[in-house]
Structure 1
Amino acid sequence: MTSMFERALGADFARLHPQLQRRFGVSVSGGQACVGTGVMEQIWHAGFTRPFLALGGTRNILVPEQGRQVPFTIENYPYVDSYGRETVTFVRTFDLPGRPRRFDATMVYDPARGIVDYLGSHQHLAVDLSFQVDECGGLVIRSEGFRFHEGRLSCRLPKAVTGTAVVRESYDDDAEEFRVGVTVSHPRLGPMFGYWGAFRARYVDVTEQGVPAVVRPRREEARL
């Protein structure tokens, strides 16, 4: 079975840099996870976002602190969740002074919506994603719509309160490392949050070592 990212990109998957094809080719049938370690050159946010980031930080959504040259880990483990959906974790850990911070996400593939990204430790936020391969073989991911699920409450969130996230990932052949940049912007207020840096990846045999419980969400949400 092809990876969910290959299904989402279709023929364009072959245009990705070969290292990105391997990284985003992780799948349950492939039996491998991708674990990256490196340094975020900068983590930043606009001042007015601090209260919202602090709230999100309680559920591992975004990062309320700022920093430079921050050690960083990203863990992409494929597994089948309790609803029978193939899932890939995107657990990012920032080793900030005094307190490590996590930004958790789990992606699932839905035939109607494509890839849906659940944010946080409890999957309260579901985000539709679009994928595009740039002219250099890099991958560009954009958020297209946010939905909030909590108990009986389930609703779509307007862009006026969420903004748009853009992730750009590429591979530097000279440095032999992945480059990543994330920016969250509001249509009226401008840039709100972001980080950029580089990391190197290793591939882990999931069939032998399994999926660490710590990278799975504490609660899984059935609603897309």
Structure 2
Amino acid sequence: MTIYKELLGEDFHKLHPKLQERYMLPLGQPFQGTGTMSKIETGPAWLKPFLTYAVRRKFLFPESGKDVPFTIKNSCRLLQSGETEVYWERSFLFKEETRQFNAFMTIDAERGVVKDYLGEPSLFYSDLNLSVNHDGGLHIQSGSQRFLAGSFEIPLPSLFRGEVAVEEGYDEVCGCYTIKVDINNKLIGRMMTYEGTFTALSG
């Protein structure tokens, strides 16, 4: 059973059938997709040094653009601890550079959240809350967060969090998945947003 199905319970079946298929993720059978991000926008210019550093951790990046080719791969695997983990690999193929935005997800069943370690090696941790929209789309909202410094995890006050909102759906007319991601901070404003579509690769 995928971590997302376990967490959503009966609500998992309220997802669009294509999203159920996408998030089932049997062990050893990754989901792979390819598409285009119609819009990618990053934060203010003074944030560029941090975003440039984040590139080294396969996290955020400083580039913005339109109609940027995109690939995604989600792999489900068992950890030595016995937990099930989903490894996220997202690539944005700009003309000059390819940027990654990777993550490692497990669940905390008692608290009812996804535990999201962002970057590779991970730079930030965030709780994620999942819910199903009225139209069968998946909504993801971030909660408490921590900055990771080696073996230390430093809780972030709400003013310093990157508040994440994700909307993923399926467009039956074009036969593709839709994605919109917004990352904002109460002080800075927009840190990154991207949106677009992708389709599953067969096999």
Query: Out of 50, 53, 57, which is 1:52 matched to?
Result: 50
Closer, same or farther: CA 87–161 of 1 in aligned 2, 3 Å = same
Closer, same or farther: CA 190–124 of 1 in aligned 2, 3 Å = closer
Q: Report deviation, 1:12.
A: 1.0
Equivalent residue runs for 1:58-207 within 5 Å: 58-113=56-111, 114-202=113-201, 204=203
Closer, same or farther: CA 203–77 of 1 in aligned 2, 3 Å = farther
Q: Report deviation, 1:86.
A: 0.9
Normalising by structure 1, we get a TM-score of: 0.84
Report the secondary structure of 1:32's partner residue: coil
Q: Report deviation, 1:61.
A: 0.7
Query: Comparing both structures, which one devotes a greater share of its residues to strand?
Result: 2
Distance 1:173 1:135 in 2: 16
Count of paired positions: 201
Contact 1:32–1:203 (CA under 8 A) maintained in structure 2: no
Aligned to 1:217: none
Report sequence identity in percent: 35
Aligned to 1:6: 5
* Structure 2 unpaired stretches of 5+: none
Aligned to 1:212: none
Equivalent residue runs for 1:206-221 within 5 Å: none
Distance 2:166 2:51 in 1: 18
Contact 1:27–1:78 (CA under 8 A) maintained in structure 2: yes
Runs of 4+ in 1 over 3 A off after TM superposition: none
Q: Report deviation, 1:192.
A: 2.4
Q: Report deviation, 1:152.
A: 4.0
Q: Report deviation, 1:52.
A: 2.1
Matched, 1:40 2:41: no
CA RMSD of aligned residues (A): 1.6
Deviation per CA, 1:186-213: give whole Å up to 9, x if none: 2243322110000001355xxxxxxxxx
Closer, same or farther: CA 180–15 of 1 in aligned 2, 3 Å = same
Deviation per CA, 1:55-96: give whole Å up to 9, x if none: 211101112111111110010011123433211111100111
Normalising by structure 2, we get a TM-score of: 0.92
* Structure 1 unpaired stretches of 5+: 205-224
Report the secondary structure of 1:54's partner residue: helix
Contact 2:70–2:93 (CA under 8 A) maintained in structure 1: yes
Report the secondary structure of 1:124's partner residue: strand
Matched to 2:105, the amino acid is M
Q: Report deviation, 1:119.
A: 0.6
